[in-house]
Each structure stands twice: as C-alpha cells, then as structure tokens.
Amino acid sequence: MKYEIIHTNIFKYESPVEQSLNTIRLKPRNNECQRLVSYNVKINPVSLTKEYLDIWRNHVENFFIAGKHDELSIVSHSVVSVQKAPYVYQLQFSEEMRNIFYSQLFHEHYLAYLMTSQYTTLSEAQLQQILRIVGSPKKNPVKFACDLMTYLYHTMTYDPEATDVTTTAQQAFELKRGVCQDYTQIMLGVLRHCGIPARYISGYLYVGEGDDLIGDVATHAWVEIMVPGIGWVGLDPTNNVEVLENHINVCVGRDFRDVSPVEGVYQGGNNTLEVTVEVKQIKHL
C-alpha cells in the first residue's frame, strides 16, 4: 500500500511571541516493511532546520524563530509505501524462542523497553486485576500480548474528552476511558511488568471505506513487542488488531514523551493549537 500524508499544525498566539525554539518528529521511518518515498516540511515563519537521529533512531528536526510572530504553521508532506502480511496469530512460541526470551542477555539487550516510566506505571492492584483476567505470560508471551490487547479493547472506552497528553496509565485505567496514547501506555505498563520488552510507536492510521478503525483524526499510537528470532511485532489495542498496512510508523520510544510530534518553548503568552492529519491511499496503475 502507498500513502500520501499531510500533517498540519497551526499555533495561534494570544499576543506576538519571539525566541521560539521548536522540535518536530514528523518524518516517517524506513524499516523492513516500510519505505519512505519522499518527505518535506514547510514552516512559516520561514526557518532553517537542523535534522538528526535521536537515541531511538527517530528523525528529529530543530528550528529557531528569533523574530516576533503571532502564528506558527508546520505542514509536513510524506509519501510512504508499506507492505505487511498478517502472522502474529500464526506464530508458534518454540522452545528455542523461550530459551532466548528468558536469557539474561535478552533482558540486558532490551532493558530500556522493560523499565516502566511515570506514564506507563500501573498500581499493583490494577496489575493484579488485569492479570487475573488475561492470565500468565509464562507459557506464551506472544499469545499473552494478544490477549491483553483484546482485554484492553473491550475494557476501555475511546473518549477524546477524558484524558490529555499528561494523563498517566494509572489515571487512564482508573477512568477506563481515553485515546490511543492511553491504551498504549496501559498495555506497555502491563507488558513490562511481565518482563516482555515493549515500545511505544507513534504514527498515522489509514482508515478506508468500510474499515472499522479509530485513530485517523491526528497521530495514532500502538505497541510493539520484541519476539525472539522474529523482531518487533506491532499490536494496536485501540482497534484490537495486528499492525499491518494501515499503520504508518513515524517514531519509537518508551512512552509519549519520546515521540511527541511537535514541542517547543518561546517567550510570550498562551497559544491554541489546530491539528489536522490527512492520509490518502495512492492507487497503483
């Protein structure tokens, strides 16, 4: 599948601001199943950008606007091709995979994705409540992750008004409401508690005609787990689906703080933000 993505962020300030230093993470990644065909970003007021790869190998761009301005627009345009086939429910967790999974070397290699954070930590009572229903991961961590995804899909209610970007997994699970960020961070908290390396993915979701998927209004979020001998496998708890060709990967991290699409500091008053994301499928001849 091939997609065109236009992601628009418009900041409007209540009074002119200056000394604006910003960071954006809008450039889709290249990996085994995804190819970035083209990418450009237009910033107004015009600014030079400095691009680099962060520790998670995300594409990051910094830019600085010295002069006064009362509006900032950031429009990124990407073309991406994605080729994936379903396989997670066909995986057999072999004895060899189990030996790797429980090895000290595996634990050390993926330690960054085993540590909980402020945003992915759940209370002991919440963890036990979930595990009583989902079961134990010891026999088959992959099946456990899929069952956990299904549990969260049926337990949580998608509600954009219930939470914001500062909401923690513990708070969202107590509400049993939230958006893709909340579903993802709750799932990460449980997986990491159970010793399953898991990372936060930020990207885009294509919703075609007849697709019963949620998450295409702005950026989307989902989970990837590390399966020994296979690699990172994507699971989308908001939609209870394996991550396939509808999902476009932009950033990887431990939680939302590592992958925020746009962030910055400036001198001046408050602002409002308007965000639109348009994902179009490009038809092949």
Q: Would you state the pLDDT for residue 208?
A: 85
- 23-48 pLDDT, tens per residue? 999 999 999 999 999 999 999 998 88
Q: Would you state the pLDDT for residue 99?
A: 95
- 148 is written with which tokens? 């956990």
Rounded to the nearest 5°, which phi and psi values hold at 187? -60, -40
- 133-179 pLDDT, tens per residue? 999 999 999 999 999 999 999 999 999 999 999 999 999 999 999 99
Q: Which strand (E) or helix (H) includes residue 125?
A: helix 124-134
Contact 26, 263 (CB under 8 A): no
Q: Are strands 69-82 and 198-205 parallel, antiparallel or unpaired?
A: unpaired
Rounded CA gap, 180 and 187, in Å?
A: 11
Rounded CA gap, 23 and 41, in Å?
A: 13
* CA proximity to 146, closest of 200, 204, 87, 65: 87
Quote the pTM value.
0.93
* CA proximity to 158, closest of 172, 138, 170, 139: 172
pLDDT at 210 exceeding the cut of 80:
no
The contacts of residue 193 (CB under 8 Å, 6+ apart) are 116, 122, 127
Report in angstroms the alpha-carbon separations of 115 from 84, 95, 107, 196.
29, 25, 11, 10
- 249-263 pLDDT, tens per residue? 999 999 999 999 999
Q: Where do the domains of the chain lie, and which CATH numbers do they carry?
A: 2-82+260-281 (2.60.40.2250), 88-258 (3.10.620.30)
